[in-house]
Amino acid sequence: MRYIRLLPCMLLIFINFLYSPFQENAFAIQQPIPNKNLERALIKKGPSTKYEIALTFDDGPDDIFTPKILDILKEKKVKATFFLVGYRIEKYPDIAKRIVQEGHTVGNHSYNHPDFLQMKEADFQRQINITDKLISSLTGSAPTIVRPPYGQINEKQLEWLTQNKRVVVQWDVDSIDWKGLKSEEIVNNILSRVRPGSIVLLHSGTGAGGDLSGTVQALPTVIDDLRKKGFKLVTVPDLLDIPQ
Protein backbone atom coordinates (compact mmCIF):
# COMPACT_ATOMS: atom_id res chain seq x y z
CA MET A 1 0.00 0.00 0.00
CA ARG A 2 2.87 2.35 0.80
CA TYR A 3 4.16 2.02 -2.79
CA ILE A 4 0.70 2.66 -4.18
CA ARG A 5 0.46 5.90 -2.19
CA LEU A 6 3.85 6.97 -3.62
CA LEU A 7 2.71 6.65 -7.22
CA PRO A 8 0.77 9.98 -7.37
CA CYS A 9 3.82 11.83 -5.99
CA MET A 10 6.12 10.23 -8.52
CA LEU A 11 3.70 11.13 -11.29
CA LEU A 12 3.65 14.78 -10.20
CA ILE A 13 7.46 14.91 -10.18
CA PHE A 14 7.58 13.42 -13.67
CA ILE A 15 5.02 15.93 -15.01
CA ASN A 16 6.91 18.82 -13.42
CA PHE A 17 10.11 17.62 -15.12
CA LEU A 18 8.41 17.47 -18.50
CA TYR A 19 7.16 21.04 -18.18
CA SER A 20 10.18 22.61 -16.54
CA PRO A 21 11.64 25.72 -18.31
CA PHE A 22 14.58 23.72 -19.67
CA GLN A 23 12.30 21.14 -21.22
CA GLU A 24 10.07 23.83 -22.72
CA ASN A 25 13.07 25.44 -24.39
CA ALA A 26 14.32 22.13 -25.69
CA PHE A 27 10.86 21.23 -26.94
CA ALA A 28 10.38 24.59 -28.65
CA ILE A 29 13.56 24.21 -30.69
CA GLN A 30 12.29 20.90 -32.08
CA GLN A 31 8.98 22.32 -33.27
CA PRO A 32 8.20 24.30 -36.44
CA ILE A 33 8.29 28.06 -35.85
CA PRO A 34 4.57 29.04 -35.76
CA ASN A 35 5.22 32.57 -37.03
CA LYS A 36 5.78 32.29 -40.78
CA ASN A 37 7.75 35.55 -40.88
CA LEU A 38 10.15 34.11 -38.30
CA GLU A 39 10.32 30.81 -40.13
CA ARG A 40 11.63 32.64 -43.20
CA ALA A 41 14.40 34.13 -41.06
CA LEU A 42 15.66 30.69 -40.02
CA ILE A 43 17.47 29.14 -42.97
CA LYS A 44 18.83 25.60 -43.21
CA LYS A 45 19.51 25.43 -46.94
CA GLY A 46 19.30 27.45 -50.12
CA PRO A 47 16.94 26.94 -53.05
CA SER A 48 17.16 23.52 -54.66
CA THR A 49 16.83 25.21 -58.06
CA LYS A 50 20.40 26.49 -57.67
CA TYR A 51 23.23 24.09 -58.41
CA GLU A 52 25.22 25.83 -55.72
CA ILE A 53 26.76 24.86 -52.37
CA ALA A 54 27.85 27.10 -49.50
CA LEU A 55 30.79 25.96 -47.38
CA THR A 56 30.61 27.47 -43.89
CA PHE A 57 33.22 27.42 -41.12
CA ASP A 58 32.39 27.96 -37.44
CA ASP A 59 34.29 28.84 -34.26
CA GLY A 60 37.23 30.70 -35.77
CA PRO A 61 39.52 32.34 -36.07
CA ASP A 62 42.40 30.44 -34.56
CA ASP A 63 46.10 30.48 -35.37
CA ILE A 64 46.48 26.79 -36.24
CA PHE A 65 43.71 25.60 -38.54
CA THR A 66 42.16 28.82 -39.90
CA PRO A 67 45.33 29.85 -41.81
CA LYS A 68 45.61 26.39 -43.38
CA ILE A 69 41.95 26.48 -44.44
CA LEU A 70 42.43 29.96 -45.89
CA ASP A 71 45.46 28.75 -47.84
CA ILE A 72 43.40 25.97 -49.44
CA LEU A 73 40.46 28.25 -50.26
CA LYS A 74 42.84 30.75 -51.85
CA GLU A 75 44.56 28.07 -53.90
CA LYS A 76 41.22 26.64 -55.04
CA LYS A 77 39.72 30.10 -55.64
CA VAL A 78 36.76 29.43 -53.37
CA LYS A 79 34.84 32.04 -51.37
CA ALA A 80 33.37 30.68 -48.14
CA THR A 81 31.45 31.92 -45.11
CA PHE A 82 33.07 32.16 -41.69
CA PHE A 83 30.93 32.45 -38.58
CA LEU A 84 33.35 34.06 -36.14
CA VAL A 85 33.43 34.09 -32.34
CA GLY A 86 33.99 37.51 -30.81
CA TYR A 87 36.69 36.76 -28.28
CA ARG A 88 38.65 34.89 -30.95
CA ILE A 89 38.53 37.96 -33.20
CA GLU A 90 40.10 39.86 -30.30
CA LYS A 91 42.70 37.14 -29.80
CA TYR A 92 43.62 36.69 -33.47
CA PRO A 93 42.83 40.02 -35.18
CA ASP A 94 45.30 39.56 -38.03
CA ILE A 95 43.76 36.24 -39.04
CA ALA A 96 40.27 37.73 -38.81
CA LYS A 97 41.42 40.56 -41.08
CA ARG A 98 42.86 38.06 -43.53
CA ILE A 99 39.47 36.30 -43.79
CA VAL A 100 37.87 39.58 -44.85
CA GLN A 101 40.74 40.72 -47.07
CA GLU A 102 40.59 37.48 -49.07
CA GLY A 103 36.94 38.05 -49.92
CA HIS A 104 35.14 35.66 -47.60
CA THR A 105 31.85 36.49 -45.91
CA VAL A 106 31.78 36.89 -42.14
CA GLY A 107 28.83 36.07 -39.87
CA ASN A 108 28.15 36.48 -36.14
CA HIS A 109 28.64 33.33 -34.03
CA SER A 110 28.33 34.99 -30.58
CA TYR A 111 31.06 36.38 -28.34
CA ASN A 112 32.09 33.28 -26.38
CA HIS A 113 29.96 30.44 -27.78
CA PRO A 114 27.31 29.96 -25.05
CA ASP A 115 24.04 28.05 -25.31
CA PHE A 116 21.53 30.81 -26.12
CA LEU A 117 18.68 28.74 -24.68
CA GLN A 118 20.21 29.07 -21.22
CA MET A 119 20.65 32.87 -21.38
CA LYS A 120 18.61 35.85 -20.29
CA GLU A 121 17.42 38.01 -23.16
CA ALA A 122 19.71 40.92 -22.26
CA ASP A 123 22.74 38.63 -22.14
CA PHE A 124 21.83 37.07 -25.48
CA GLN A 125 21.55 40.50 -27.11
CA ARG A 126 24.87 41.54 -25.57
CA GLN A 127 26.54 38.50 -27.17
CA ILE A 128 25.30 39.62 -30.58
CA ASN A 129 26.00 43.33 -30.14
CA ILE A 130 29.58 42.96 -28.91
CA THR A 131 30.46 40.61 -31.74
CA ASP A 132 28.74 42.90 -34.26
CA LYS A 133 31.07 45.72 -33.22
CA LEU A 134 34.12 43.52 -33.58
CA ILE A 135 33.05 42.38 -37.04
CA SER A 136 32.17 45.95 -38.05
CA SER A 137 35.71 46.98 -37.19
CA LEU A 138 36.86 44.46 -39.82
CA THR A 139 34.27 44.92 -42.54
CA GLY A 140 32.85 48.40 -41.99
CA SER A 141 29.33 47.16 -41.26
CA ALA A 142 27.44 44.74 -39.03
CA PRO A 143 26.91 41.27 -40.51
CA THR A 144 23.50 40.35 -41.86
CA ILE A 145 23.85 36.66 -40.98
CA VAL A 146 23.99 35.00 -37.57
CA ARG A 147 24.60 31.41 -36.57
CA PRO A 148 23.72 30.57 -32.94
CA PRO A 149 26.14 28.23 -31.17
CA TYR A 150 25.01 24.60 -31.43
CA GLY A 151 22.21 25.84 -33.74
CA GLN A 152 20.16 26.59 -30.62
CA ILE A 153 17.79 29.55 -30.57
CA ASN A 154 14.31 30.24 -29.23
CA GLU A 155 11.45 32.13 -30.82
CA LYS A 156 11.92 35.34 -28.82
CA GLN A 157 15.59 35.55 -29.78
CA LEU A 158 14.75 34.83 -33.40
CA GLU A 159 12.13 37.56 -33.34
CA TRP A 160 14.66 40.09 -32.01
CA LEU A 161 17.15 39.19 -34.72
CA THR A 162 14.45 39.47 -37.37
CA GLN A 163 13.51 42.93 -36.12
CA ASN A 164 17.16 43.85 -36.52
CA LYS A 165 17.15 42.61 -40.13
CA ARG A 166 19.23 39.49 -39.50
CA VAL A 167 18.98 36.06 -41.04
CA VAL A 168 19.75 33.04 -38.86
CA VAL A 169 21.71 30.49 -40.87
CA GLN A 170 21.84 26.85 -39.82
CA TRP A 171 22.80 23.95 -42.12
CA ASP A 172 21.51 20.80 -43.78
CA VAL A 173 24.87 18.99 -44.09
CA ASP A 174 26.98 18.41 -40.98
CA SER A 175 30.57 17.25 -41.51
CA ILE A 176 30.86 16.42 -37.78
CA ASP A 177 34.49 17.45 -38.11
CA TRP A 178 34.58 18.90 -34.58
CA LYS A 179 34.88 15.34 -33.29
CA GLY A 180 38.37 15.12 -34.79
CA LEU A 181 37.31 12.70 -37.50
CA LYS A 182 39.68 11.41 -40.16
CA SER A 183 39.57 13.13 -43.51
CA GLU A 184 37.90 10.14 -45.20
CA GLU A 185 35.00 10.28 -42.75
CA ILE A 186 34.56 14.01 -43.22
CA VAL A 187 34.60 13.67 -47.01
CA ASN A 188 31.94 10.95 -46.83
CA ASN A 189 29.78 12.90 -44.36
CA ILE A 190 29.66 15.81 -46.80
CA LEU A 191 29.57 14.22 -50.24
CA SER A 192 26.98 11.61 -49.32
CA ARG A 193 24.53 14.29 -48.14
CA VAL A 194 24.94 17.39 -50.30
CA ARG A 195 22.12 18.48 -52.56
CA PRO A 196 21.62 21.58 -54.70
CA GLY A 197 21.36 24.51 -52.29
CA SER A 198 23.08 22.74 -49.38
CA ILE A 199 24.75 24.67 -46.57
CA VAL A 200 27.67 22.64 -45.24
CA LEU A 201 28.83 22.94 -41.63
CA LEU A 202 32.59 22.75 -41.04
CA HIS A 203 34.89 24.31 -38.44
CA SER A 204 37.94 26.56 -38.71
CA GLY A 205 38.66 26.82 -35.00
CA THR A 206 38.53 24.51 -32.02
CA GLY A 207 39.06 24.47 -28.28
CA ALA A 208 42.17 23.38 -26.40
CA GLY A 209 43.17 19.89 -27.48
CA GLY A 210 40.80 19.87 -30.45
CA ASP A 211 42.05 18.64 -33.80
CA LEU A 212 40.77 19.81 -37.17
CA SER A 213 43.57 18.17 -39.18
CA GLY A 214 40.94 15.98 -40.81
CA THR A 215 39.10 19.09 -42.01
CA VAL A 216 42.26 20.54 -43.54
CA GLN A 217 43.06 17.27 -45.29
CA ALA A 218 39.48 16.70 -46.48
CA LEU A 219 38.82 20.19 -47.85
CA PRO A 220 40.67 19.91 -51.21
CA THR A 221 38.94 16.61 -51.97
CA VAL A 222 35.53 18.03 -51.07
CA ILE A 223 36.05 21.10 -53.25
CA ASP A 224 37.35 19.12 -56.25
CA ASP A 225 34.57 16.52 -56.05
CA LEU A 226 31.79 19.11 -55.76
CA ARG A 227 33.13 20.95 -58.77
CA LYS A 228 33.38 17.72 -60.77
CA LYS A 229 29.69 17.20 -60.04
CA GLY A 230 28.94 20.64 -61.44
CA PHE A 231 28.36 22.53 -58.21
CA LYS A 232 29.35 26.17 -57.87
CA LEU A 233 30.80 27.05 -54.46
CA VAL A 234 29.40 30.34 -53.16
CA THR A 235 28.98 32.35 -49.97
CA VAL A 236 25.79 32.14 -47.92
CA PRO A 237 24.57 35.62 -48.97
CA ASP A 238 25.07 34.70 -52.62
CA LEU A 239 23.26 31.41 -52.15
CA LEU A 240 20.31 33.05 -50.37
CA ASP A 241 20.28 36.32 -52.34
CA ILE A 242 20.60 38.44 -49.21
CA PRO A 243 22.68 41.62 -48.79
CA GLN A 244 26.07 41.42 -47.12
Alpha carbon separation from 229 to 84, 180, 191, 193, 215 (Å, rounded): 29, 27, 10, 13, 20
pTM above 0.95, yes or no: no
| pLDDT (tens digit per residue) in 36-76 | 566 667 999 999 999 999 999 999 999 999 999 999 999 99
Collect all residues with Cβ–Cβ distance below 8 Å to 114 and sequence separation of at least 6. Answer: 127, 149
Catalytic residues: 58, 203
Angle between helices 213-228 and 65-76 (to 10 degrees): 20
User: pLDDT-derived band of residue 209, with 50, 70 and 90 as boundaries?
Assistant: confident
User: What's the chain's Rg over C-alpha atoms?
Assistant: 20
Element (H, E) at 168: strand 167-169
pLDDT score at 12:
37
pLDDT score at 184:
98
pLDDT of 25 higher than 60 = no
pLDDT score at 30:
36
User: pLDDT-derived band of residue 15, with 50, 70 and 90 as boundaries?
Assistant: very low
pLDDT of 170 higher than 70 = yes
Collect all residues with Cβ–Cβ distance below 8 Å to 38 and sequence separation of at least 6. Answer: 155, 158, 159, 162
Collect all residues with Cβ–Cβ distance below 8 Å to 215 and sequence separation of at least 6. Answer: 65, 69, 175, 177, 183, 186, 202, 203, 204
